[in-house]
Amino acid sequence: MREFTVPPLATAPRVGGLADSVYDNAASDPGRTALGRKDSAGQWEIVTAAQFRDEVMALAKGLLAQGVRFGDRVGIMSRTRYEWTLFDYALWSIGAQSIPLYPTSSAEQVFWMLHNADVSACLVEHEDHAMTVGSVVDRLPQLRKLWQLDAEPVAELTAAGAHIDDEVVHRHRMAVTPEATATIIYTSGTTGRPKGCVITHANFMAEADNIVMRYDKVFRSKPGDEAATLLFLPLAHVFGRMVQVAAIRGRVKLGHQPELAARALIPDLQAFRPTFILAVPYIFEKVFAAARRRAEADGKVGPFDKAVDVAVRHAEAMERKAFGTGSGPGASLRMQHQIFDKLVYSKVREAMGGRVRHAMSGGSAMERRLGLFFAGAGVRIFEGYGLTESTAAATANPPERTRFGTVGTPVPGTTVHIAEDSEIWLYGGQIFQGYHNDPKSTDAVLHDGWFATGDLGSLDEDGYLTITGRKKEILVTSGGKSVSPVSLEERVRAHPLVAQCIVVGNDRPFIAALVTLDPEAVAHWLTMRGKPEMPPTDLVRDPDLETEIRRAVVAANTLVSQAESIRTFRILANQFSEEHGLLTPSLKLKRKAIEAAYAVEVDALYRG
């Protein structure tokens, strides 16, 4: 199949902007819990729809009092926290545009984004961010205001705008149209300078409203259940921003968690108790790996692995039933599944708060078996696909017919087309307007409303999309063999000890790989084998560890021909990190940067 369309469910608004939902929600149900936030003691407290509206209104008036005007652009450099959402909606209330800056951005990246977007004011989280902006402020004559969240600017701005009448804000809000720019999100970019994606209020509305309508029964999985989600994705990334907008528009209780580390995230999941979560595969991989390590430490890894096998077979049987190719799990499998639900699966669900039954995953591909395990364990993960340019999801697996290992069918209102060279083209109301101040780049990817993604894929007979690679990431060996690295990397990364894998071999005689390790998994592995702790430089030379990683490489090689297989690999002492410019904020590999940083190690793979 070359093209597949799913008609829209939501009617595109002809008037208004994103801030309207805050005021509409408060007017129709003022006492409803709209958000959760932590108090000074670290305890979760509720914020009603009326409270949130009042705080947004007060901040909007303060922004006006401080000189922010209709159409102005204001930078936000912060981790995911309540105040980000508050500022977003206050800015949209007065027709201003928010410009996200990744919290880990370098001074030059910050300068480029603030300069390119002509930002007139900026909100930062703490002093380090303020110093980063301060180091380039002499080259930003248009930047007039700088607020720091840790200095509590909300109270200051609220006081500054107290004299302004509410009607002034409403006049600004009523002047916002769906076609107006809501934000410019700079692509984190695996190569080159970030490009600013211009996304309108209408783009967000088309994306969020269609997803909320399509997945409404998922969000509200039980009658009368309060829909709630804990947002821990970076709000500087389009996926996190879409979750925020969908939660406000869909009247889903929204909480914020700034840290992806398990030690911070797991306790908040258990305290906030979301009904569904939206995440990247890394989160689900960590939850699974932690559960297996606990089982192994308790001497129960055998039963755990059996439970995994039962969950996968149960989910596969349910998948076949959904597509009309099977009758579902047999009596014996159902009985085993019930036993393990009490012994194993319930504990996995409890780690995510106990109420989660559904999740959405995007940003990168999820291994089919992992998705099947979670489904069998009672948490159905809907894998999807999208880009900044498509305001997040363009495809997602439908709730009633999930095809694991694919990224699903087009979200309502979207068409997916596969070009002759297998490039994925997208069309729909969520497709961005172009790259800010960059008509050449815009013309290269937008063609009469169609967005050429640069990703490669295929559609099956039911309209399910499978991602097969990226045009710019195809490796061509010196022998002329074309190799897509993604599937190899994913299979190697499926090993519990592996954190990351990058496949190299462009213009080289064969394919090779660099592998990094998961510190928690390695520490557990050493303990279970009675090995002493050792520095990373010694660890990577441990012959038993090398044997484990070799198993992962051999498993990956079963997916491809001999000419495409990984011939050799090297284990690195340190992980690739965003801080060192080797990962994007959505944890994608920056291939050129990694190969440059590890040029010596890559060359060593091809010696002799």
Same domain for 57 and 153, yes or no, is: yes
Map 223-256 to HEC letters: CCCCCEEEECCCCCCHHHHHHHHHHHHCCCEEEE
- Helix, strand, coil percentages for the chain (3-state, nearest 5): 40, 20, 35
Number of domains in the chain: 3
Direct distance between the N- and C-terminal alpha carbons of the chain, in angstroms, rounded to an integer: 46
User: pLDDT band at 190, cuts 50/70/90?
Assistant: very low
Say if residue 586's pLDDT is above 90. Answer: no
Same domain for 425 and 487, yes or no, is: no
- Over range 112-119, report the average pLDDT: 96
Same domain for 498 and 457, yes or no, is: no
Same domain for 461 and 385, yes or no, is: yes
CATH of the domain at 345: 2.30.38.10
The residue among 471, 496, 530 that closes a domain is 471
For residue 223, tell me if it sits in a domain.
no
Give the tens place of pLDDT for each residue, 317-367: 999 999 999 999 999 999 999 999 999 999 999 989 999 999 999 887 888
Counting residues of the chain whose pLDDT is more than 70, the rounded percentage is 98
CATH of the domain at 99: 3.40.50.12780
- Residue 191: predicted pLDDT: 47
- Over range 522-530, report the average pLDDT: 91
In sequence order, the β-bridge partners of residue 468 are none
Same domain for 64 and 37, yes or no, is: yes
Q: What is the DSSP letter of 136?
A: T
Q: Measure CA 76 to chain center.
A: 18
**Number of other CB atoms surrounding residue 325 within 10 Å:** 8
- Over range 520-532, report the average pLDDT: 91
Range of the domain at 129: 18-176+234-249
Average pLDDT across the chain, whole number: 93
SS3 470: strand
Give the tens place of pLDDT for each residue, 241-269: 999 999 999 999 999 999 877 778 889 99
Q: How far is CA 177 from CA 13, 92, 172, in A?
A: 9, 11, 11
Same domain for 432 and 546, yes or no, is: no
For residue 44, tell me if it sits in a domain.
yes
- Residue 188: predicted pLDDT: 63
Say if residue 292's pLDDT is above 60. Answer: yes
The whole model's pTM is what?
Answer: 0.87
Q: How many Å apart are CA 32 and CA 293, to the nearest integer?
A: 40
Instruction: Report residue 224 as tokens.
Output: 């009368």
Same domain for 520 and 456, yes or no, is: no
Same domain for 343 and 419, yes or no, is: yes
For residue 480, tell me if it sits in a domain.
yes
Say if residue 563's pLDDT is above 50. Answer: yes
Give the tens place of pLDDT for each residue, 473-521: 888 887 778 888 888 998 999 899 999 999 999 888 999 999 999 999 9
- Over range 513-542, report the average pLDDT: 91
- Over range 399-409, report the average pLDDT: 95
